[in-house]
Amino acid sequence: MVHASVKARAPTQKQQNDGVFGSVDCLLLTASLGSGVLSNCTYIHRLHVLGGKLPSGFYGSPAYATSVPNFSAAIPYQAQYTFLSQAELQDNTGRH
């Protein structure tokens, strides 16, 4: 497990096969408090996103959906996640 906060976000371009609702944003996250294999994780990159966006107007609006007890919706989603440590960043930039 790792805790992370958003460092940067970029909207995903509309793609032909991302469904009618669009895709969630690409993200660069600053990681902290990682454990296990993620204990040295510094950044998490979410790229190549396809789908995952809650449709606007879904049961009135996304805000309405969060007020319904036990509300769930299956929204197709896929993305590539890359987990980076400070050492990997230094090796890739040539700086130590």
pLDDT at 61: 52
| pLDDT one-digit tens code per residue, 5-17 | 999 999 887 777 6
Statement: residue 73 has pLDDT above 60: yes
Distance of alpha carbon 64 from alpha carbon 84, whole angstroms: 37
What is the average pLDDT score of the chain?
A: 80
DSSP codes, 13-75? PP-TTSTTT-BPPEEEEEEES--GGGTTEEEEEEEEEEEBPPPTTGGG-HHHHHTSTT-----
| pLDDT one-digit tens code per residue, 50-69 | 888 876 665 545 555 556 66
**Domain map (residue ranges) of the chain:** 3-93
Strand order in the sheet with 26-32: 3-10, 26-32, 41-51, 77-85
pLDDT at 22: 80
For residue 46, give the nearest of 15, 77, 92 by alpha carbon.
Answer: 77
Contacts of 55 (CB under 8 A, 6+ apart): 20, 21
